[in-house]
Chains A and B, each alone.
Chain A
């Protein structure tokens, strides 16, 4: 168990390093940060002078070490846009994203597990068909289409909710639904498969032979076994939500979260802000992974013996 957590810690360290390195590689090696920073018609001498001043003419490896050593104390330089340190700017939208992500995951899990369990218990039934359709639609759903459609139906046509923005609970409804759709599909799929796998196991017959009513067999014996893969998959989905889906959802609904910040940083070519936002997302991913590991250990007592 300790070894697992230790391994995870080392892994997390490398993950964050890798993300920051990729940003460094793309912006400082492939791209030219000086050209990006200065207006296009700047004379060559001034560009060179600027390069010299900021140390952009040093060997790449030295720049990299220098950059990483600053990055690890959270120093990504000043945002070119706001002229203040980039990290605090990148951290500011975090609560908005968490709010959305946690609501979406709660929705997906609280709908997905019951649907998946029910479908898995009765393969071939109408509930199972519904679950199959839900999961297929969920995993095939293009967010770039779902988001405008939700906005069109609920905001434009029915006028029930605002099309975009941030503030009241009404603003949260559509982005939450959009963000929950994909994880919902995946969770239904894995729960159903897992329940089907468990129900044919011998220990289920043993439990029934003891005289336990079916409901108790399910709740006390099957669920705990069946939910282990569901926890793992939910964790992956949560990671995808905060590091991928949310970028599109926040862009469409004008939700001021980290995804929106990342997109904005790219659009306005603010390299320090981009790096800081990518760093924040990487840290969030690491935190989610840790949380999932701990949850897994709590639910699965056997991990101690593996």
Chain B
């Protein structure tokens, strides 16, 4: 590049411009692809279900009715209109439990990704920007933790600190932040000496200012893609741990827990585990379809390695 270093205002203006234009283009490509459109709509619906759970669910998800226990779904013989998806072992309404399960699973997933994403990104950016001893120690630690089998780690810790949603969030965040840190550090390193950072330095920005104003927009697209993938992983891990009895505890509803509760009745009352399991599947599949689109749309060079 032979052009002179741009002034702050120009650089800043260019950034904002590019980002608005990109957002518009991004949305346009989203609606051109039926698969990603469907995935996006499903995700929006799931979020609405999670938020409006008390309004949407026909029954109290914990209300038992032994008289009505193991009622099959409405379209199966012996089913009833009142319980669309049937009832469970204790006569609780499956639909209501799935709705509350959506709330629980999405809440845990989102909180984990937000906590791990923020902590990981900050540490990673600092490591990449500061370099030196901080970077060396952080990287050693990250390398280390990445090598330890995640599910094994999560199980052991959950067994020690006890099950429950709060502990799940702690453990899943502990397992997830390193991935954000690694990505943020890598991106930070690659743009540390990029022209515009130099430009900002020349024109006298403080270190902090440089970091936040310039690096963050560049990180956004990769971090968002990673966050969607990590969300899917957190939901799957949560479901797995809840299934093993190490996650969400009764009487709360969570998809993994519900699959486990229905597991012994797979031959007589398969709806008990079919529907909650299907919910996990639909959610993770939508997230992955969305993430694939997002990755392609924001960074065509990046390959599917995640």
Q: Which residue numbers of A lie inside 8 Å of B, CB to CB?
A: 11, 14-15, 18-19, 22-23, 26-27, 30-31, 136-137, 139-145, 148-149, 151-152, 156, 163, 189-190, 193, 197, 229, 233, 239-240, 243-244, 247-248, 251-252, 262-263, 266-267, 274, 278, 281-282, 285
Which of A15, A163, A248, A274 contacts B244 (CB under 8 A)?
A248
The verdict on B285 contacting chain A, using a C-beta distance below 8 Å, is yes
Which of B160, B270, B292 contacts A30 (CB under 8 A)?
B160
Say whether B284 contacts A190, CB under 8 Å: no
Which of A26, A148, A193 contacts B305 (CB under 8 A)?
A193
Which of B147, B262, B285, B304 contacts A137 (CB under 8 A)?
B285
The verdict on B245 contacting chain A, using a C-beta distance below 8 Å, is yes
Say whether B147 contacts A18, CB under 8 Å: yes
The verdict on B259 contacting chain A, using a C-beta distance below 8 Å, is yes
The verdict on B152 contacting chain A, using a C-beta distance below 8 Å, is yes
| Residue numbers in B under 8 Å from A190 (CB-CB) | 304-305
Q: How far apart are the CA atoms of A27 and B159 in the complex, in Å? A: 9
Say whether B159 contacts A274, CB under 8 Å: yes
Say whether B239 contacts A140, CB under 8 Å: no
Say whether B151 contacts A244, CB under 8 Å: yes
| Residue numbers in A under 8 Å from B270 (CB-CB) | 148, 152, 156
- The 30 listed contacts between A and B (C-beta, < 8 Å) are A11-B143, A11-B147, A19-B149, A23-B156, A31-B160, A136-B285, A136-B289, A140-B232, A140-B281, A140-B285, A142-B277, A145-B281, A148-B262, A148-B273, A151-B266, A152-B266, A163-B267, A193-B304, A239-B149, A240-B149, A247-B155, A247-B240, A248-B243, A248-B244, A251-B243, A251-B244, A266-B155, A266-B156, A274-B159, A282-B149
| Residue numbers in B under 8 Å from A239 (CB-CB) | 149
Number of residue pairs A-B, CB distance < 8 angstroms: 134
Which of B152, B274, B303 contacts A149 (CB under 8 A)?
B274
| Residue numbers in A under 8 Å from B122 (CB-CB) | none
Say whether A243 contacts B149, CB under 8 Å: yes
The verdict on B136 contacting chain A, using a C-beta distance below 8 Å, is no
| Residue numbers in B under 8 Å from A233 (CB-CB) | 305
* Chain A residue with Cβ nearest B272: A148
Say whether B303 contacts A197, CB under 8 Å: yes
Can you add 8 more A-B contacts, CB < 8 Å, to A142-B281, A189-B304, A274-B159? A15-B147, A19-B152, A22-B153, A30-B161, A142-B240, A156-B266, A243-B152, A247-B151
Q: How far apart are the CA atoms of A22 and B159 in the complex, in Å? A: 12
Assuming the contacts A136-B288, A145-B278, A267-B245, asked whether A26 and B156 have C-beta atoms less than 8 A apart, the reply is: yes
Assuming the contacts A26-B159, A140-B232, A266-B159, asked whether A145 and B277 have C-beta atoms less than 8 A apart, the reply is: yes
Q: How far apart are the CA atoms of A297 and B240 in the complex, in Å? A: 36
| Residue numbers in B under 8 Å from A281 (CB-CB) | 149, 152
| Residue numbers in A under 8 Å from B288 (CB-CB) | 136, 139-140
Q: Mark B67-88, 1 if CB is under 8 A from A, else 0.
A: 0000000000000000000000
